[in-house]
Amino acid sequence: MKASFFIFILKKFLLIFIIFAGASYFDLSHEEQRSDFLGNKWSIKKLSIGEISKMHNVSIKMLRYWDEIGLFKPIYIDPDTGYRYYSTYQFHTLNFIIYMKKLGLSYAEIKEHLSTQDYEYHLELFKKHLELTNKKIEELNSIKENLSGYVDGMEEVLKIKELDEVTVKSYPETKIILIKEKIYSRIEFEKTVKKLEKIIFGNPTLLLPKVSLIIDKNNFLDMKFDEYDGAFITAEEYEAKKEFIQILPAGEYASICFWAKLEDSLPFFIKIKNYIDEHGYEVKGDIIRRVVAPGVFQNDRGHLGEIRVPIKKK
């Protein structure tokens, strides 16, 4: 009984010793760790470069390179075979190096950070990279919104069955981001698109997939179909200042979908106006020349467009 109790106490003492010895191990220099590794800690498993490579998903070639530049050296190199061996106590350093590489730091910067024990220094480092990460997230969100616009437009193309024919449809209220200005030519249109991109993205680096145009009601009634009064994009996926936000009202619209370039839309404007006159409708507001989906491939058809005219019975 006494022997069993003595063994139990001894085991507890050894466990506490190992815990504290392990904790102090991080404070040892590389040479002290190596000596400790080879000397009285043979109970600690030594890991080959291949094992470290698999465990941390780092190539053997990369580990050898890190050894050569003094970034991450093995705890022991066998003098006879030249094999590199590592200790579990080095995992913390290795994880730190891998993480810093993901943040985009150079090897020189990582070495500097590893040699610095100042917590304030590391705090500023992580704050800086947190800010950079947030900016990258914003950029990726913009790219995601853009791709969603292209995907939505292409899916809509596949659903549209009625081309070159006027129909009457009900549409819900739609929030848009609008720049109100006269547009008389293709070059003016492209300049307005760039202004929209700057409003939405801050930087005109991403292409807006579906920019649409507004024609003033009076110009439409006077058959001035080549004079636009603004350009817009739906605000479902984008944000902008309140001064650029407007609402397209819900209601009935005469609609026609067609493949054409912007400058070749005239026949479809004439067709929809004739339909409205012939069926006893009255134009309620401004007319939309919408881009359903941009022309992804170079072709003579242009893009899939739609003209929408808000109407009511006379």
Instruction: Give the C-alpha separation, 295 to 216, whole Å.
Output: 26
Instruction: Give the C-alpha separation, 292 to 301, whole Å.
Output: 14
pLDDT of 196-210, one tens digit each?
888 877 765 555 667
SS3 103: coil
Domains of the chain with bracketed CATH: 24-115 (1.10.1660.10), 161-313 (3.20.80.10)
Instruction: Give the C-alpha separation, 297 to 306, whole Å.
Output: 19
Check residue 28 and give its pLDDT: 45
Q: What long-range pairs does 21-25 form, CB within 8 A, spacing at least 24?
A: 22/89, 25/89
pLDDT of 91-126, one tens digit each?
888 998 998 888 888 898 888 888 887 778 878 878
**Residue ranges for the chain with pLDDT beneath 70:** 1-45, 146, 149-150, 153, 157, 203-209, 236-238, 294-300
Instruction: Give the C-alpha separation, 306 to 258, whole Å.
Output: 6
Q: Contact at 8 Å (CB) between 220 and 287?
A: yes
Instruction: Give the C-alpha separation, 216 to 225, whole Å.
Output: 9
